[in-house]
Every structure is written in structure tokens, then in C-alpha cells.
Amino acid sequence: MSLRLEAALATALLVVVSCSGDPSTDSVETLPPGEGAPSPTEAVTELVTAINVPDFSGASRLAMPGHAALASLAEGATFGDVAEAIRKGDQAVAANFWAGFAQGAGSFLSGDVSVNDAGTVSRDEVEFHQVSVATEDGGTRSVLIQESDGYRIDLFASFGAGLADKMMGPVERLINTQSEDARLILANLREIVPSLLVASELPGTAADVSQQLLALVEVITRIG
């Protein structure tokens, strides 16, 4: 699957997830966040297992904390909801993200997959572990992992191609919103800039998608 097609699918799945109320994820917010996986490759294999079960509530701990909350900007989440998820924990949002992901752009992680450690890459002093996933069509895909109380999947470094375009408008509005919630969200967005830069450089990223990622970085870093 090309990253251009994945971008369209990922955007579509976010809209689907925002409109669904999977009862298996309703109570996730009250659960402890848990630890990440023991290694980068196990973070991916544990996600594959969760997708195949499915167990999206259990998979919520495999996303970098706060990433799903920020990604929900692409589906029209209110700034208040995003800020609350950042403050209280975004496990429920992450569970919904994985549920939608499994139905669309994440199909390459279903069934039997082969994963391999592909080394590390650094951007702005942030280290990303690359895990190569062999796809059914004979190609490979990269999933990027960070260490944060265990190893967790970086949603923006791995799947930013499907998020950047839809996040532009909300981020522009954040910059012009003088509120505590907006300032909190912007501070967290600045932390994902290295992830967006890595996503823009992944092999196979279409030139226009790379430009969308870089344009989002420019907006996020415009102030402060």
C-alpha cells in the first residue's frame, strides 16, 4: 500500500472512529496506562496480536502517551476534549484509534506478519527505533517506536502521512486561540515535531505528502 493511499485511509478511519462507540473501550480511561512493550519489535508484534484478537483496549498502552489525543484533532475533536485527554490520559482515544486503524490503513498488520529490527534514526536528539514489517505483497513497511516506560509506537512518525493535512486547520485555529487548553495542546504538538520530520523522510512518502508534513511543522513552530 502506498503512503498516499494510506493517508486517505487513515483520514477516513479517524472519522469512522469518532462516530462509533465501541463498548469495549468505554472504560479504558479509568484503567492504569500500563507499560510499553519490552522491545521495539515486541511493540509491533503485540499490536498485531491485539488487532487479530481484537483487543483494542489492551493495545492502547502501545501508543505513545498523548499521541492519540493530538491525532484526534484531525477528526474534529474539540480543544477542550483534546486537552482533557492529555491531562487525564488518552487510553480510550488510543483504543479507538487502533480500532479504526485495524479497519483501514492498518490492514498490513493483520494476520501473520514478519517483523525485524531495522536500527535507529535520530531527529533533533530524539531516537526512533525502526521496525520493518514484511507485507503480503512482498514489500516492507516501517513502524517507528520510541522508548517511554517501555517501547511504544509513535503514531506521528509511523502514520503521520494520514494525519497532517487534516490537522492543519485545527492547529491554525489553536495558534489564534488564547486559552489554557490551546497552550497545553500547542506545547504537546511541539514535542511531536521530530516525529513529523521523520515521517516526511520515510522511503515511499509521496512528495506532496512530505510537503504537508513539513507545512504542519511550520505551523506548529510558528510561535514559540
- Alpha carbon 218 to its chain centroid, in Å, reads 19
Q: Which domain holds residue 106?
A: 3-220
What pLDDT, on a 0 to 100 scale, did the predictor assign at position 33? 58
Q: What is the pTM of this model?
A: 0.85
How far from 86 is each of 4, 182, 185, CA to CA, in Å? 29, 12, 8
* Distance in angstroms (rounded) separating the CA atoms of residues 143 and 141: 7
What digits encode the pLDDT tens for the residues 78-112?
A: 999 999 999 999 999 999 999 988 887 666 787 77
Length of the chain: 224
* Structural domains of the chain, count: 1
